[in-house]
Structure 1
Amino acid sequence: MKMLVNVILPIEPFNSMVRNGTAGEIIGRVLEDIKPESIYFSEQEGNRGAVMIVDIPDSSAIPAICEPWFLNFEAHCEIRIAMTPDDLMKANLNKLAEKWSDVHVN
């Protein structure tokens, strides 16, 4: 299952880790372990942040994705299920509309 993981890295301890030279090495270890399909770094809520796509077999894999960020950077992680266009097509929206709508548009 594809998940969109939004990571917010607070100013501290990240500033201290940049100054002492450990931030890059730890990020490298985290990414080597998580192996995201893609990751982009950006500003989020005035902090450093990252957005990554990960493919997980089931929800029990979520701690292995978030704990490295929590424990090393005191980060905040938000996780959302991500659908591809093919996934959305498999959802059969027309059938759901028929089942759950009082008014049908023809």
Structure 2
Amino acid sequence: MNSLGSKLRHGLSNGARIVLMSATIVTLSGAIAPAQDSAPGVRMMLKVQIPVEAGNRAVADGTMKSIIEDTMEQIKPEAAYFSQEDGLRTIYFVYQVTDNATFAAVHEPLMQGLGARVSDLPALTWDELSQGFGAIGEDQ
């Protein structure tokens, strides 16, 4: 398992694991988002990496807390994990996207206010991925 998976595994309840397959994050046992399975839209995992010096300034002046709180209020994540990766403050948010216009509204404050690198990946439960595997067999 790569470092992202091993870092996230420690933050999950019920012994759930993260498995990375291509660019899709899959949960086993549905521990990340059991209550959101029927929510409309696509479940995404937003990864936010904040450079050290910009992060230090943002912590000192209160910007970090404010931007994170605003982001969480906006996206209402199913889960939020705070860690470090490659020496950078790193945040993982799992949330639902129902409108692609959401991306700019979510990403820009993080990039402009914290100098963050951001990326979004689709995040599937095991049940969703299994259904996808079933659909592959039907197409052949």
Q: Same fold by TM-score, threshold 0.5 exceeded?
A: yes
Instruction: Find 2:127's aligned residue among 71, 86, 99.
Output: 86
| 1:41 corresponding residue in structure 2 | 82
Looking at structure 1, the residues matched to 76 and 107 of structure 2 have their Cα atoms a distance apart, in angstroms, of 13
- Residue 96 in 1 paired to residue 96 in 2? no
Instruction: Find 1:77's aligned residue among 109, 118, 124.
Output: 118
- Are the structure 2 counterparts of residues 97 and 25 from structure 1 closer, same or farther at C-alpha, using a change threshold of 3 Å? same
- Are the structure 2 counterparts of residues 61 and 20 from structure 1 closer, same or farther at C-alpha, using a change threshold of 3 Å? closer
| 2:105 corresponding residue in structure 1 | 64
Return the index of the structure with the highest Cα Rg.
Answer: 1
Relative CO higher for 1 or 2, CA cutoff 8 Å, sep ≥ 6? 1
TM-score normalised by L of structure 1: 0.79
Per-residue CA distance 1:63-105 (angstroms, 9 max, x = gap):
12211211110100111111112211221x25525756xxxxx
Structure 1 alignment gaps of length 5 or more:
101-106
Structure 2 alignment gaps of length 5 or more:
1-41
TM-score normalised by L of structure 2: 0.62
| 2:21 corresponding residue in structure 1 | none
Instruction: Report the aligned-residue RMSD.
Output: 1.9
Which is worse superposed, 22-31 or 69-78?
22-31
Q: How many residues align?
A: 99
